[in-house]
């Protein structure tokens, strides 16, 4: 896992208000071995490893964005982030007249994903940041939070040392610390952020509806759905979730062999998913063979005719499976194309294994890039189209026609085959991966 470090060397410069003046520092931000604050001082025509800025605006932005920064995921790939979302996730929002690196933060619930691009030289700015990240960096979420705590506390200690007390930052950080220490407050702020709101901005009626849904489906499932159907859900937030719950579905009783690796494998979501998919294939004596539809349906306890006749009642942004009595589930898929439906059911199978849903947990599949959704995609790809079997089938022929033959053989989409080949380094596609959100999701600063 990549290291994250904000380092500072206090100095004196300028004549701003006390909290700004007393926290002027030469600041550097290291993501692994890349210093995102190495810069060209355009006016002095020199290269510097740190930038002279005040640490206070950055600490204030980190504190005011704390909940959304740590709990609100990146929107789905087909959704353009709102200005409000970007203000809570892009470092440039720290502002206060200083130039900050083009850096984006988005949690996937397990790690903080970080993207960065070099800045462009403009006559209006004295600083041009030289470094970006070729692919996204992943910082364990607890390590990221610990680094931010250290930085914010250092700024507050600096202000205390110069008798600059009772600042907005001090009051805000005290409140955050109190809320983090109290489970009910922590859960409230987390849910607020997942819905897309800053603290105390979520309407009471919407929060009450969200809390009722959380009681019904569990916090882990609502975490996957709230970012899609909360503030981003338009005029009737969360109503679509209730519509999906009440819509017709497919009834099945999943029957999955006991898997040792389901809860024991460590590593990235995709690593855990691939290990489980391979173990499941082995338990079915299908190490390399094609998993046909009937075998997939049997694992979920679904009728082949019911699945093949299935049409969703509306266009949804999520599929769910609702636990019923006697270990039954009501599956509500959202895909209609046979290959897409097959892949989605494989994802729900992966989710069933991941969440231990034999105990009655809800399942959900979305277009978000949370760790849970990354796991599902990697599981479904490896379960339906094992990369070793794919290599044997292609025999080093990665032409378009060969890939088309592979899609037909394994009954998966061309996107799935191309993703497997990219993720395993068998074909080249710069900065693109499905195991991590490697590609910059949108143009920073645009």
226/72 Cα distance (integer angstroms): 9
Instruction: Report pLDDT for 437.
Output: 57
Q: Is residue 153 part of a domain?
A: yes
Pair 371, 307 in one domain: yes
The number of domains in the chain is 3
Q: Are residues 22 and 8 in the same domain?
A: yes
Say how many residues make up the chain: 446
- The answer to whether residues 71 and 150 belong to one domain is yes
SS (HEC) of 397-419: CCCHHHHHHHHHHHCCCHHHHHH
Q: Please identify, among 165, 186, 216, the residue that sits at the C-terminal boundary of a domain.
A: 165
DSSP tag of 80:
P
Token pair 């397990």 is found at: 110
- Residue 434 located in a structural domain: no
Same domain assignment for residues 257 and 213: no
**What are phi and psi for residue 76, nearest 5 degrees?**
-55, 155
Question: What is the Cα–Cα distance from 269 to 372, expressed in whole angstroms?
Answer: 7
**How confident is the model at residue 429, as a pLDDT?**
60
Within 10 Å of residue 227's Cβ, how many Cβ atoms? 26
Cα Rg for the chain, rounded, in angstroms?
24
Q: Are residues 94 and 182 in the same domain?
A: no
**194 with 339, same domain?**
no
In a domain, 435, yes or no: no
19 and 128 in a common domain: yes
- Considering the domain architecture, whether residues 371 and 412 belong to the same structural domain is answered as yes
pLDDT of residue 96: 92
Neighbours of 222 (CB within 10 A): 25
Q: State residue 431's pLDDT score.
A: 44
Judge whether 138 and 144 are in contact, CB under 8 Å.
no
pTM as predicted:
0.93
Residue 359 in tokens: 């105990």
Of residues 256, 264, 253, the one with CA closest to residue 283: 256
Domain interval for residue 146: 4-165
Tokens found for residue 237: 């937030």
Q: For each of the chain's 446 residues, which pLDDT tens digit applies? A: 689 999 999 998 777 799 999 999 999 999 999 999 999 988 888 999 999 999 999 999 999 999 999 999 999 987 889 999 999 999 999 999 999 999 999 999 999 999 999 998 777 788 999 999 998 999 999 999 999 999 999 999 999 999 999 999 999 999 999 999 999 999 999 999 999 999 999 999 999 999 999 999 999 999 999 999 999 888 889 999 999 999 999 999 999 998 886 666 688 999 999 999 999 999 998 888 899 999 999 999 999 999 999 999 888 999 999 999 889 999 999 999 999 999 999 999 999 999 987 778 999 999 999 999 999 999 999 999 999 999 999 999 999 999 999 999 999 999 999 999 988 888 876 544 555 556 788 888 65
Same domain membership, residue 300 and residue 197? no
CB 369 within 8 A of CB 376: no
Question: Is residue 62 a part of any domain in this protein?
Answer: yes
**With contact defined as beta carbons under 8 Å apart, do 30 and 7 qualify?**
yes
Q: 228: Cβ–Cβ under 8 A, 6 or more apart, which residues?
A: 76, 317, 318, 366, 367, 368
Cβ–Cβ under 8 Å, residues 175 and 186: no
């Amino acid at each position: 896992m990549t290291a994250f470090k904000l380092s500072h060397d206090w100095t004196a410069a300028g004549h701003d208000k006390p909290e700004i003046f007393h926290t002027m520092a030469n600041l550097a931000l290291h993501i692994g071995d890349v210093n995102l604050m190495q810069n060209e001082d355009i006016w002095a025509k020199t290269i510097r490893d740190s930038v002279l800025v005040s640490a206070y605006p950055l600490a204030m932005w980190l504190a005011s964005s704390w909940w959304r920064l740590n709990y609100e995921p990146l929107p789905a790939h087909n959704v353009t982030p709102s200005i409000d979302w970007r203000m809570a996730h892009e470092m440039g929002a720290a502002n206060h007249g200083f130039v900050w690196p083009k850096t984006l933060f988005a949690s996937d619930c397990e790690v903080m994903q970080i993207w960065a691009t070099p800045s462009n030289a403009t006559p209006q700015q004295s600083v041009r940041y030289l470094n970006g990240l070729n692919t996204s960096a992943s910082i364990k979420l607890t390590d990221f939070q610990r680094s931010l705590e250290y930085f914010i506390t250092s700024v507050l200690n600096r202000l205390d040392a110069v008798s600059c007390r009772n600042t907005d930052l001090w009051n805000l950080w005290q409140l955050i610390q109190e809320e983090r220490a109290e489970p009910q407050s922590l859960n409230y702020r987390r849910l607020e952020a997942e819905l897309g709101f800053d603290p105390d901005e979520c309407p009471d009626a919407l929060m009450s509806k969200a809390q009722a849904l959380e009681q019904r489906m569990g916090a882990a499932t609502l975490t996957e759905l709230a970012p899609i159907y909360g503030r981003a859900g338009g005029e009737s937030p969360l109503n679509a979730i209730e519509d999906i719950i009440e819509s017709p579905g497919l009834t099945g009783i999943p029957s999955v062999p006991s898997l040792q690796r389901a809860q024991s494998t460590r590593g990235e979501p995709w690593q855990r998913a691939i290990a489980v998919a391979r173990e499941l294939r082995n338990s079915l004596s299908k190490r390399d063979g094609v998993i046909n539809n009937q075998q997939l349906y049997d694992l979920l306890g679904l009728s082949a005719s019911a699945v093949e006749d299935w049409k969703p009642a509306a266009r949804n942004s999520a599929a769910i499976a609702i636990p019923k009595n006697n270990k039954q589930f009501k599956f509500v898929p959202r895909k209609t194309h046979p290959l897409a439906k097959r892949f989605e059911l494989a994802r729900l199978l992966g989710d069933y294994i991941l969440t231990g849903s034999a105990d009655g947990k809800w399942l959900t599949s979305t277009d978000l890039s949370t760790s849970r959704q990354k796991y599902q995609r990697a599981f479904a790809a490896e379960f339906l189209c094992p990369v070793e079997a794919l290599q044997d089938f292609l025999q080093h022929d990665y032409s378009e026609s060969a890939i088309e033959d592979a899609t037909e053989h394994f009954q998966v989409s061309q996107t799935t085959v191309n993703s497997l080949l990219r993720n395993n380094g068998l074909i080249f596609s710069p900065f693109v991966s499905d195991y991590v959100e490697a590609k910059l999701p949108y143009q920073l600063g645009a």
